[in-house]
Amino acid sequence: MRFAGQTAILTGAANGIGAACARRLEAEGARLAVIDRDEAVTARFPNALAVAGDCTDADVLRAFAFEAEGRLGPVSVLVNNVGQSARERSRPFSESNEETWRFVLEVSLLTTMRLTRLVAPAMAERGYGRVVNIASDAALVGDAGLAEYATAKMGVIGFTRSLARELAPLGVTVNAVAPGAIRTAAHDHVPEAVLERVRAGTPAGFIAEPEDVAGLVAYLASTEARFVTGQTILIDGGRWML
């Protein structure tokens, strides 16, 4: 019950990694607020403040953050999970288009920055907070056909490092988790050729489950990780080693 008495908010929590992280924090006692454009999020988290909404809409995020703090109390944990590659629109960069770049940057980077801007100042004022951003090992590996996604997620890593330096003296840690091949519904929308390259390049030889990510997120979100900040920790079966 590491999060008893604490409020945790998560984006993109209806499925996959987001849902696994939300379940883990809730199981360990957190008062939970979750948001996802998939309306199923409300049924999957009946005991939480669950909002069906588009995280790329700044007004929706603002209302969500306000409601979470108003109903559940000061936010101690923020998990910025929402993000998406170009999926079926993935192309070699020379064949890609700016509309796709902007969409991927919006959902995978700007949502993280916006919600953090809404939540982090109050954390700093109280002298305690945990921000965990979900990046991707694609940012470090540089998979072909995922240029816009790798760019967005490297932006998440840079944002994590810079913000960690600002907030460390104020009792707030900021870290990133960079998953590799994790079995989620998003894989249904990624070209098989891309998935096969990822799978073949993973030394562990298998695709992990969302719960493998949730364990690390829970640690970084807890008081146990008080001396860990500004880090990017990979969960990718050894595909990229720091």
Dump pLDDT digits (tens) for 172-204.
Answer: 999 999 999 898 877 776 677 777 877 888 899
pLDDT of residue 95: 87
Of 3, 45, 64, 149, which residue is the catalytic one?
Answer: 149
What is the per-residue burial (b if ≥16 Cβ within 10 Å, else e) of 209-225? ebebbbebbbbbbbeeb
Has 149 been annotated as catalytic? yes
CA 76 to CA 157: how far, in whole Å? 21
In the chain, what are the domains? Answer: 7-235 (3.40.50.720)
C-alpha span between 157 and 152 (Å, rounded):
9
Give yes or no for residue 15 having a pLDDT over 70. Answer: yes
At how many degrees (to 10) do helices 210-220 and 16-27 cross? Answer: 50
Buried b (16+ CB within 10 A) or exposed e, 141-164: bebebbbbbbbbbbbbbebbbebb
Nearest 5 degrees, angle CA 160-CA 165-CA 168? 105
Backbone angles phi, psi at 148, to 5 degrees: -70, -35
In which residue are the tokens 């849902």 written? Answer: 19
Segment among 68-82, 156-170, 186-200, 217-231 with least mean pLDDT: 186-200
Gap between the Cα atoms of 166 and 149, Å rounded: 26
